Amino acid sequence: MNSFEKNGGRLRAECQMNEFRMALDDCGLIDLGYIGRWFTWEQGKVLSTNIRKRLDQGVATLNWVNLCPNYQLEHLTHSFLDHCFILLDTLGKQRVLDIKNKPFWFEAKWCLEDSFEEEVRRIWNDISGSVPDKLRRLGQQLQRWNSSKAIGKKKNREILEERLNCLYELEPTDEILGEIIDIQLSLNLEANQEEIFWEQQARVNWLKNSDRNTCYFHKVVV
């Protein structure tokens, strides 16, 4: 590619960005900001080819911001794609989860745990009584096992994400980029479990609400 083609490509990109900014202004949209790493696009996994840019952003009108004042937009770090995932939480830090009196239900993501099969076998062999009674007590102990695992996973994820954010603040080297890939792999394994959980939750919602004439289900079946 000669210098004329490079300059032409640069000019086209600048024109597109100016048109995009004008479109935002015409629609009254503002940048929502972000938390997390500063860039949303990365190319190259070694120092000689590594490029980082903030190419993606969340935008909204002032009316929406006033409607959801506690919103939080986060650049997620555990993606192997060129662009990172962006999570918009309309409740932000005001979110409160009610987990009391939660009935037992089997979570498919448990099957990805290496220790799950052995844990079920151990609990079942330690319980005496009729089959219905053993199933009830198995469910109770699996809930406690899940809670214990969740606490450990949350702490480990926080440690990994904190380390990842620290690495992104450092001047990139081949060693740092290699460690970033290792941490992303660990976080992606946990993300796979969460994806299975939400897929299972979506199926439950479908069974409960699929007969309702809603826009959501219209979009799902298209």
Pick 186 or 198 by higher pLDDT: 186
Residue 114 lies in a domain: yes
pLDDT at 80: 63
Contact 33/59 with Cβ under 8 angstroms?
Answer: no
pLDDT at 213: 46
Lowest mean pLDDT of 51-60, 65-74, 145-154, 210-219, name the range. Answer: 210-219
Residue 131 lies in a domain: yes
pLDDT tier, 28 (very low <50, low <70, confident <90, very high otherwise): very high
Residue 220 lies in a domain: yes
Percent of the chain with pLDDT over 70: 74
Residues pairing with 83 in the sheet: 41
CA distances from 190 to 14, 24, 157, 173 (A): 39, 36, 8, 26
CA distance 152 to 143: 14
pLDDT digits (tens, 9 = 90+) for 118-154: 889 999 998 888 888 888 888 888 888 888 877 777 7
User: E strands within 27-183?
Assistant: 30-31, 35-36, 41-43, 51-53, 59-60, 72-75, 86-89
Total domain count, the chain:
1
Residue 188 lies in a domain: yes
What residues contact 49, with CB distance under 8 A and at least 6 apart?
43
Pick 73 or 45 by higher pLDDT: 73
Domain enclosing residue 205, as ranges? 98-222
Amino acid of residue 164: L
pLDDT at 216: 45
Residue 73 lies in a domain: no
Residue 218 lies in a domain: yes
Neighbours of 186 (CB within 10 A): 14
pLDDT at 59: 93
pLDDT digits (tens, 9 = 90+) for 96-107: 444 445 567 777
> Which tokens hold the place of 86?
């962006």
What residues contact 104, with CB distance under 8 A and at least 6 apart?
139, 140, 142, 143
Residue 84 lies in a domain: no
Residue 2 lies in a domain: no
The predicted model scores a pTM of 0.46
Would the pLDDT of 210 be above 60? Answer: no
